[in-house]
Structure 1
Amino acid sequence: MKAVTVKTLKIELNERSHHELVELCLRLSKFKKENKELLTYLLLEAQNEAGFIESVKEEITDQFSEINTKTFYFIKKSVRKILRMVKKYIRYSKNKETEVELLLFFCEQLSEFSPSIKRNNTLLNLYRRELASIEKKIQALHEDLQYDYKQELDELTNF
């Protein structure tokens, strides 16, 4: 079966009743964990973006505390996993401020991580790549926010 375009889906969804839409959403949520997470965000957390950001920050902190620090191999795998999780939550939000704030927090946690990421080129490159991407994303924000986030970014850059 080939998937149809978003436009076709939109037309079909507009023709359905409220009850049918609810059933479709519930059925969709049963297939993939990400679908359920996205519905949870849209229905319960989208109205409170600050609360959402705080919960994601707590999850990032927890994930960093659980990293196996025996070898850099395990550290790299875990850091990449955390970054994938952060980017997934950013996709749910689609808010540029949330994106910058979560990525800054991720980089802050990474810079404070022990053993230091300075001892591993792969982690250091990942860190620098994220800082460069944050810098580009800051350019799209309002001037006042740009100033605040730029200061945080400068602190992380001087790490």
Structure 2
Amino acid sequence: MKAATVSQLKKELSFRSPGELLELCLRLSKFKKENKELLTYLLFESLDEEEYIQNIKTEIDLEFNAINTKNFFFIKKSVRKILRNIKKYSRYSLKKETEAELLLYFCSKLKDFKPSIKRNTTLLNLYQRQLVAVKKIISALHEDLQYDYELEVEELEGI
């Protein structure tokens, strides 16, 4: 996700009410280096959550393609970085549906990754922990969404 320039942020903030500004600032104060990215999400991307998810999925694809597959040390390091970014973007959104969808996408990419994660215990454990986390998130969602996401989880569990 590319952060907006300071002038773009300033321009967008000028259109907000004082109450909205206060709420944005309080939420912004909870973060440190990601302030600009969070503000970009709140001002520009929160209105279209589907596009936000698609942008992150595209970024995940690029990061998976850039992984050095020469040995599992580099693979583990890169996969952890991707997961860290997903968690960060999920925190910006605060929507459980977004977090579930991103983690499911991450798990599907990891499952299809070559060389296979079955050959490395650490990666396999990381994959299984993410599936458990997704199940926990899904349990808090609406029943219709639960059913759809649970079908995806069952498909991913057959590793």
CA RMSD of aligned residues (A): 2.1
Which has more radius of gyration?
1
Which residue in the other structure is 2:5 paired with? none
Which residue in the other structure is 1:73 paired with? 73
| TM-score, normalised with respect to structure 1 | 0.81
Which residue in the other structure is 1:153 paired with? 153
1:104 deviates by 0.2
Whole-Å separation in 1 of the counterparts to 2:67 and 2:32: 26
Which residue in the other structure is 1:102 paired with? 102
Amino acid corresponding to residue 143 of structure 2 in structure 1: E
Structure 2 portions without partners, runs of 5+: 1-16
1:32 deviates by 5.2
Map Cα deviations across residues 21-63 of structure 1 (whole Å, 9 max, x no partner): 69xx6xx89x954000000000000000000000000000100
Whole-Å separation in 1 of the counterparts to 2:77 and 2:139: 30
Amino acid corresponding to residue 81 of structure 2 in structure 1: K
**After TM superposition, where is structure 1 displaced by more than 2 Å over at least 4 residues in a row?**
none
SS of the residue aligned with 2:34? helix
Q: Percent identity?
A: 65
Whole-Å separation in 2 of the counterparts to 1:39 and 1:70: 38
Whole-Å separation in 1 of the counterparts to 2:44 and 2:133: 29
Which residue in the other structure is 2:119 paired with? 119
Whole-Å separation in 2 of the counterparts to 1:43 and 1:155: 36
1:150 deviates by 0.1
Number of residue equivalences:
137
